[in-house]
Amino acid sequence: MGRRHVARKRNHTARPPTPSSLSQACHSSWPCFHTVFSFLFFCVCVCVYWVLPMKRDLVKAAASGNIKNLRSLLDEGVDANVPRKKGWTPLCAAAFQGHIHCLRALLQAGALVDKADDRGYTPLLCAATFGSLACVLELVRAGTDVNAVSREGHTALSLAAELNKVNCVHALIAAGATVDKRATNGQTPLVRASSAGHLDVVEALLEAGADMTISDDLGDTALTLATKKKHRHVVYLLNGADGRPRKRLRQA
């Protein structure tokens, strides 16, 4: 009995697979094959629709700070002034992200220093928004218009003042930016900085001769806005700004 049982067991294990068992095995492994195929298809799509175009896109190379790819594209003859959507140029992209090496390479390749996007933002306005002092100084040396105005009436100085980019404020004033340039709503850089409570910027603008009596379209001056928003250190500084700015109130 023992030998017969062993023989039957051996015959059972050596039996070839039936078509039904193969079908079951294929069906059980199909989800795994489907997952692998989907992943490979996704990788191919990413390479075709995102990675490869990015390597050929000068604006994306400038925005990401990929100086190697940017120089390669420029050497291949890609136009340094070709914009993307909304008029975004490579020089604007480099300035907005503060990539000074890309900005210098684009200027050397003939990028137009004052070519604006659809909103009227020149590379200088983009650099002031980011607060990149190096980019601001490089653009000034390249001959940019320091008083260029966007469609909303922003200048590089007004943007730097509103965003508390005090180093850029000093650089723009030294480059000849108009201190009392008014935006479409009538606000000057001093009004914007006072409304935001940026004490260092307010002090820099007052030292440059900013007129604190100018009001915006709603009739608010730098002092009234600082008072409404309870920026007491700015209020103290503005109250002593008749002729010579008063020393700032020491922070508590």
| pLDDT given at position 229 | 95
E-strand stretches of the chain: none
Among 22-31, 98-107, 111-120, the minimum mean pLDDT is found in: 22-31
**pLDDT classification of 50: cutoffs 50, 70, 90:** very low
Instruction: Flag whether 105 is in a domain.
Output: yes
CA 15: distance to chain centroid? 68
Instruction: Flag whether 127 is in a domain.
Output: no
The tokens describing 239, both together, are: 């109250």
Distance CA 75, CA 88 (A): 21
99: domain CATH number is 1.25.40.20
Among 20-34, 57-71, 108-122, 174-188, the minimum mean pLDDT is found in: 20-34
Exposed, middle or buried: residue 219 (CB in 10 Å: 0-12, 13-18, 19+)? exposed
| pLDDT given at position 18 | 60
In this structure, the number of other CB atoms found within 10 A of the CB of residue 102 comes to 27
Instruction: Flag whether 214 is in a domain.
Output: no
**pLDDT classification of 243: cutoffs 50, 70, 90:** very low
The reported pTM is 0.74
Distances (CA, A) of 34 to 29, 39, 201: 9, 9, 60
Instruction: Flag whether 195 is in a domain.
Output: no
**pLDDT classification of 67: cutoffs 50, 70, 90:** very high
Instruction: Flag whether 67 is in a domain.
Output: yes
Instruction: Flag whether 237 is in a domain.
Output: no
Query: Looking at the predicted structure, is the pLDDT value of residue 34 above 60?
Result: no
Domain range for 55: 51-122
| pLDDT given at position 28 | 58
Up-side HSE of residue 168: CA atoms within 13 Å toward CB?
30
**pLDDT classification of 49: cutoffs 50, 70, 90:** very low
| pLDDT given at position 75 | 94
Query: Looking at the predicted structure, is the pLDDT value of residue 42 above 70?
Result: no
Specify whether the CB–CB gap between 167 and 196 falls below 8 A. Answer: no
Say how many domains are in the chain: 1
Distance CA 79, CA 106 (A): 10
Distance CA 136, CA 120 (A): 17
Instruction: Flag whether 112 is in a domain.
Output: yes
Instruction: Flag whether 132 is in a domain.
Output: no
